[in-house]
Chains A and B, each alone.
Chain A
Amino acid sequence: MTTATLFILLFFCMLIGMPISIALGFSSIVTILLFSHDSLASIALKLFESLSEHYTLLAIPFFILSSSFLSTGGVAKRLIRFAIDCVGHIKGGLAMASVMACMLFAAVSGSSPATVAAIGTIVIAGMVRSGYPESFAAGVITNAGTLGILIPPSIVMLVYSAATEVSAAKMFMAGFIPGIMMGLMLMAAIYVVARIKHLPSQPWPGFREIMSSGFSASGGLMLIVIVLGSIYGGIASPTEAAAVSAVYAFLVSVFGYRDMGPLKGKPWRHSGEGAVAMVSRNLWQSLLTFPRALVDKEIQHTVLDAAKVSIMLLFIIANAMLFAHVLTTERIPHVIADTIVHWGLEPWMFLIVMNLLLLAAGNFMEPSAILLIMAPILFPIATKLGIDPIHLGIIMVVNMEIGMLTPPVGLNLFVTAGITGNSIGWVIKAVLPWLLLLLLFLILITYIPQISLFLPEYLDKLQGYK
């Protein structure tokens, strides 16, 4: 009865278009009022505490802030140039370079649709110009863009740890190998297609050019090194790493790359300028920039954009914690888990059912919302069946990736349709062969836990925990 009330209310509220955050909170508070003895005052306090007692949650706004500083066209262009220099000379190299650029941009931005928009706009046109079929280019990019939520630092993983209290640092370690593996799988498939279809390759650019483009891309790439290095090395928590990366991203985009803010468009070196003149000019210009950055329209806009997304996500999380509270106090997942064990359902069968359920949900909702609703239900069941919580998290994230490619809510589909000017139907057809590859990857991830668990366990061993 309690379960039915909770879920019927939740689904009704969501169907009629209520914001997911309010739908979660409303269905939870009504269920509590009807079936339990908690007072309204204690529920209100719980909502406040879910925002004021979870230090790890703060990593979410900080990472969003850092990614909004670096999710710019300028950063995308630098990463693409570097990627093309690295792998462009192989057959089908332009497509492989796009995948690599997607992986790098995904790590910096943590957002899949933003990756497709930024990388796709440049490389799809470029690939068509050098003789690739447009549907091939669009399919590759739409798929590679989904890596944004799997390659750490990833906001979706932070949401999963918020929902289940699994360590975010461990999730970041676990996502690394699967992310690289998926990228390599895509590249290998591209190579095979390129051999068959005789797709073109780029000329070898020479080491000087690689060094120069590598240096130009390093401002963005260093962010990945700082964040992952400090988390993997165990010297900073994800929250601290995120705050440092936000400050770093601000400095790089305003002072280093000069993609936004008061220094925008001012070159590091004018042609014919002496070394001493250059250094002193840049020095006083940078000093002047600090006060001017505070009132700069573009920077204010970037911060406000990050604030909007953070508020939306954190408010859903706060309400989802109420929802999870109702689930636990009513022991709903435990009852389901007992039933499943009673049926004699094996873990591998449960994983199939879970994957199907998540894939279905992925058609209608956005990744973070699905995780916040499904994780508190699936997590206790999986633990009871002996499935590792971190492995479970990675499986869920890979499912969410696929959800970004399936209509009607596949975010990446919309972005690709927008940037190529084609219909959604056309994009779906272009994506389909690559989607099959992603499904194969999901099966691998689901049934070989070592892919996800190797790195976190290895790092634990290095630090002497085991």
Chain B
Amino acid sequence: MLLRMLNRAEEGIISLLLVAMTLLVFVEVVMRFVFDSGFLWAQELTLHLSAWFVLFGVSYGLKVGAHIGVDAFIKKLPEIGQRVFSVIAVLLSLAYCGLFIYGSWIYLAKMKKIQIELEDLPIQTWIAHSILVIGLVFLSIRLLQLLWHIIKGDVTGFSHKTEAEESMHLAEELASESERLDEEKK
């Protein structure tokens, strides 16, 4: 129950960030054309929302298999080989997260010490940039989960959904619709 609520919250936050970015730019355009004015802070806010959107969403992307990758080679191996290479891939990805979390931590600590605000918005830089650590910690947690599943043998590696698979739902929707129409004719 709690887990499902957390999932919904995660999806909600991601969608909300995307919609907020879109509307901000849209309102800015309308302001410029209709009222010939604008907000000084809008651009900085939009760009920071976009950084939060991406870094917060990366771990979600891993969960739903949104990240693209090359699996032409690894799919040719026997299952045990796939799992061994996938474990290496996950460990290297964790190293990536580790390096970035460490680097971000040093950077954020410095920013907190010198107390700089963003250019246009009255927000502390270290707070605005804190998503670097948050997002990558989430990514590490999801990578550890994946590692556990690979070792247990539930999955053989990263799941990469291609655009082609994503597009097939359109085809299915149309095909089922035309079948329904055919039946109605009979």
Contacts and interface: CB of A to CB of B under 8 A. Distances in A.
Contact of A408 (B60, B72, B100): B72
B175 A121 contact: yes
Contact of B67 (A19, A54, A121): A19
Contacts, number: 246
B68 A312 contact: yes
A314 B15 contact: no
A392 B110 CA distance: 42
A51 B55 contact: yes
Given A41-B103, A58-B46, 18 more contacts: A22-B96, A25-B100, A26-B95, A40-B102, A42-B103, A45-B129, A51-B50, A113-B167, A118-B171, A122-B178, A125-B178, A309-B66, A312-B61, A314-B53, A315-B61, A411-B164, A414-B162, A418-B164
A244 B66 contact: no
A366 B167 CA distance: 15
Contact of B51 (A23, A51, A118, A305): A51
Given A40-B103, A58-B50, A311-B57, A19 B62 contact: yes
Contact of A308 (B46, B61, B102): B61
B174 to A, nearest CB: 4
A281 B53 CA distance: 39
Interface residues of B, number: 74
A17 B158 contact: yes
B26 A247 contact: yes
Interface in A37-67: 39-45, 47-48, 51-55, 57-58, 61-62, 65
A114 to B, nearest CB: 4
A71 B169 CA distance: 11
A14 B104 contact: no
Interface string B98-121: 011011101100100000000000
Contacts of B178: 122, 125
The DSSP consensus for interface residues of chain B is: helix
B47 A307 contact: no
Interface string A1-33: 000000000000111111111110110010001
Nearest to A314: B54
B18 A310 contact: yes
Nearest to B143: A22
A17 B162 contact: no
Interface string A231-270: 0000010011001101100000000000000000000000
Contacts of A19: 62, 67-69, 93, 158, 160
Interface of A: 13-23, 25-26, 29, 33, 39-45, 47-48, 51-55, 57-58, 61-62, 65, 71-73, 76, 111-114, 116-118, 120-122, 125, 236, 239-240, 243-244, 246-247, 300, 303-312, 314-316, 318, 364-366, 369, 408-409, 411-412, 414-415, 418-419
A73 B162 CA distance: 20
B61 A311 contact: yes
The DSSP consensus for interface residues of chain A is: helix
A52 B21 CA distance: 12
B83 to A, nearest CB: 11
Interface string B150-186: 0000000110101111111011011101100000000
B41 interface: no
B31 to A, nearest CB: 11
A243 B18 contact: no
A236 B28 CA distance: 11
A76 B93 CA distance: 40
Contact of A304 (B15, B62, B95, B173): B15
B137 interface: no
Contacts of B48: 52
7 A-B pairs with least C-beta separation: A40-B103, A19-B67, A44-B103, A243-B25, A311-B57, A41-B107, A117-B167
